[in-house]
Amino acid sequence: MQKRKLGRSGLEVSALGLGCMGMSHGYGPVSDKQEMISLIHAAIDRGITFFDTAEVYGPYLNEELLGEALAPYRDKVVIATKFGIQMEEGKQVLNSSPRQIKQSVEGSLKRLKVDTIDLYYQHRVDPNIPIEEVAGVVQDLINEGKIKHWGLSEAGVETIRRAHAVQKVTAIQSEYSMMWRSPEEELLPMLEELGIGFVPFSPLGKGFLTGTISSNATFESSDFRSIVPRFKKENIEANQALVDLIKKIATDKDSTPAQIALAWVLAQKSWIVPIPGTRKQSRLEENLGAATIELTTRDLSQIEEALSKIKILGDRYPSEYANRVGK
């Protein structure tokens, strides 16, 4: 597995990371713990060194899972987790108060069984707490040795600039794929300017770009996609043109749609590190194959031309989640 550096921070990770949320949160029932530990160990054996979780996944279950699974490999892996979302009466609440951040970091350190967190993201921007205040608390935590690097998830460009001015930001995490290219407009140029790495989640469009989701697909209530407009029947049908394009490219490259979708993200910038998630060994192997696929300049140009003719329908978040991003 090739390595990549997240911007100019010097933090080096495997070119593909592993998003671990779905093992404990958001995609149906919680997976068997021992099976997921085996999957994480298989990922390490295949060269993955970058693992992504968050305090709210579970809540707490995902961090506990990673803490147990990664304990024997601590010196070989980079662990990213997140603060800033709390569960109150079954609902997510944004809270990045200094007191809460300090409380959250102690809990994450304990659950992850580590002395320091490699990369600590603000999960969502808290409109009630100035980002400069958040960055100041993070700076204190870095000085105390409790975290090494920090980042923000789904933040707007002005917020990122303000945060970076107080404490240099190592990475920004946001959705990015052939299906969702909004980061190309303002975010990616700014990250390149400031030397900040980019960690795309959902590089496979929450599974859609694998070509395995039909218009008849149904999602149980514990699966986040059950409330996502993008996954309504009519939008799945309308967006099939994108899947058809990816399938054609995959055939030409003797690969799978998932591998092409990931290879496309990897080809955009050398400081981009996607974190596809999976709960299956076979999918892990498939995703890893993307790192060996080379898309030439001509390939990328042809893909760009084809993508420009495809309009994606359906929002990526329901309204209650959409109003928390890009702030």
| Beta strands at 78-83 and 50-52: parallel, antiparallel or unpaired | parallel
pLDDT at res. 315 = 96
pLDDT at res. 268 = 98
- One-letter identity of residue 125: V
3-state class (DSSP) for residue 287: helix
Beta-bridged to residue 95, according to DSSP, are none
pLDDT at res. 302 = 95
pLDDT digits (tens, 9 = 90+) for 273-324: 999 999 999 999 999 999 999 999 999 999 999 999 999 999 999 998 999 9
Instruction: Please give the Cα distance from 172 to 130 (Å, whole number).
Output: 18
Closest Cα to residue 99, out of 144, 54, 131, 137?
Answer: 137
Instruction: Please give the Cα distance from 266 to 291 (Å, whole number).
Output: 8
Q: How many CB atoms lie within 10 A of CB 177?
A: 25
Cis peptide before 59 (omega within 30 of 0): yes
In this prediction, residue 179 has a pLDDT band, given cuts at 50, 70 and 90, of: very high
Q: Where are the domains of the chain?
A: 3-322
Instruction: Please give the Cα distance from 227 to 51 (Å, whole number).
Output: 26
Beta-bridged to residue 86, according to DSSP, are 93
In this prediction, residue 176 has a pLDDT band, given cuts at 50, 70 and 90, of: very high
pTM: 0.97
DSSP assignments along 111-176, one per residue: HHT-SSEEEEEESS--TTS-HHHHHHHHHHHHHTTSEEEEEEES--HHHHHHHHHHS---EEEEE-
- For residues 150 and 120, the answer to whether their CB atoms sit within 8 Å is yes
pLDDT digits (tens, 9 = 90+) for 215-247: 999 999 999 999 999 999 999 999 999 999 999
- Give the residue numbers marked as catalytic: 57
- What's the average model confidence in pLDDT over 148-165? 98
* Mean of all residue pLDDT scores within the chain: 97
Tokens of 90: 């079954």
CATH architecture, range 3-322: Alpha-Beta Barrel (3.20)
